[in-house]
Structure 1
Amino acid sequence: MTGRSVPAVLPPSLRAGLGLVAALAALVVVVLGAMYAGHSRPGTVDRWFVDPTADSVRPPWRHVALATDFLGEPAGAAMLVVAAVTGCLLLRRPRAAVLVVVGVCMAVGTTSLIKSLVGRTIHGDGNLSYPSGHTAFLTALALMLALLATGRLGLGRTAGTLFVLAAALAAGAAMGWAQVALSAHYPTDVLGGWCTALAVIPATAWLVDRIADRIADRIADRPVDRPVDRVADAGRQERP
């Protein structure tokens, strides 16, 4: 048995569709980053929604926004990742567990890198805002769990792609609303974070599958040193 019998974290039927989505999302991230590089104020598109520097939400919705924001903070994010990894292991999907850890690191790391390159700020020069790391994190986690669910449910190309994108949209919209409502990010920062996750996770899932398959194939190709063989070899060596 080789690693090919292990379910892929990126179902083959979804690779083409999600690959196209990832390419378009990466393009959006680059375009928005170029548009708002070095800016410290909301753009025209941002003002269509809300003034991000104003306190735009009141209790009880403010409590909801704060609770949602907590899921993207280090403590809340760690709790979600541990829960997701534990669930993957209980379902005997070690590849999915690896993807959750690697995918989260890639999504958050990519947003941090882009922030330093773009240099867009909010509420002061020290608050880098583009893209939203909170939005990228929750979107990435929802996307990875949706890929796991798609594989287990055996969804086809169309249904699987729609399910994965719907999960990513729901998570991104929830966290994005919280970030804008709490004046932590501009709306275009949220869009950039959402697109960052869509660009990074499919590529990361494909890479995890490739590496896992190669490792499993190498292990399967190794000759098995059985006890019977060792006894036979010892007997041949004892003969005059």
Structure 2
Amino acid sequence: MARGVRRVSVLAGLVVVLLGVVYAGHSRPGAVDRWLVDPTVDSVRGPWRRVALALDFLGEPGGSVGLVLVAVLACLVLRWVRGAVFTVVGVGLTVVVATVLKHLVGRTIHGDGNLSYPSGHTAFFTALALVVALPATGLLGLGRTAGAWCVAVAALAAGGAMGWAQVALGAHYPTDVLGGWCTALAVVPASGLLVDRVAGTRWRKAR
């Protein structure tokens, strides 16, 4: 794992912990949330609402399992076992960590007990983008700079899209979305390292 990726992973983890400490036990939006948008209102209408709902579905159990299965099957068709394992471990650990953090932090939204920090939808969607983008940079033979840009764009696009949907639908505060995004940034690279260490060596695409 590249040194730059490790640094981003550690920094993201620190952000997750910091936000978790700041908003632990809260049931109202923070100052940053209120400055960005009214996070308690379902604010999207018309065709954009359908887009937001479609994105939201992709983060629900049915949609998320379907996306993971497609990614795993694609890896297996390409006879790339490590990619399939990395997809399952990277996404799975991210979802588990996000779920555990929700219960530890105890932040809620709408006052009805819905745990909101970090956003599991955002964590999942970002993690899926990362497990595709990180190994793709190596398979495509991209250099360090081009590879870094590829991973950054994938993470920003996925996290930004799902984060927008969650805030627009009133399901999460903006800081929940940031926490979910950083959770994926922290967990996925560590998952790749774990997969490689358990395998005993770096797996290569089967021929």
Using structure 1 for the length normalisation, give the TM-score: 0.82
Question: 2:18 — aligned with what?
Answer: 31
CA displacement 1:135-186 (0-9 Å, x = unmatched): 0000000001001311111111121112111101100000000000000000
Question: 1:88 — aligned with what?
Answer: 75
Question: 1:208 — aligned with what?
Answer: 195
Q: Structure 1 residue 124: deviation in Å?
A: 2.3
Aligned length: 203
CA displacement 1:8-29 (0-9 Å, x = unmatched): xxxx5xx201000000000100
CA contact (8 A) 1:135 1:175 kept: yes
Question: 1:221 — aligned with what?
Answer: none
Report the Cα distance in structure 1 between the residues aligned to 2:114 and 2:81, rounded to whole angstroms. Answer: 37
Question: 2:34 — aligned with what?
Answer: 47
Computed over aligned residues only, the root mean square deviation of the Cα atoms, in angstroms, reads 1.3
Q: Structure 1 residue 116: deviation in Å?
A: 0.7
Report the Cα distance in structure 2 between the residues aligned to 1:215 and 1:148, rounded to whole angstroms. Answer: 12
Q: Structure 1 residue 213: deviation in Å?
A: 2.7
Equivalent position SS for 1:60? helix
Q: Structure 1 residue 211: deviation in Å?
A: 1.3
Question: 2:53 — aligned with what?
Answer: 66
Using structure 2 for the length normalisation, give the TM-score: 0.95
Pairs within 5 Å for 1:120-139: 120-139=107-126
Structure 1 stretches of 4+ moved >2 Å: 213-216
Report the Cα distance in structure 1 between the residues aligned to 2:119 and 2:129, rounded to whole angstroms. Answer: 16
Equivalent position to 2:182, from 195, 211, 232: 195
Code of the residue aligned with 2:125 in structure 1: it is L
CA displacement 1:73-106 (0-9 Å, x = unmatched): 0000011000000111111210010011111110
Pairs within 5 Å for 1:153-192: 153-192=140-179
Code of the residue aligned with 2:167 in structure 1: it is V
CA contact (8 A) 1:95 1:212 kept: no
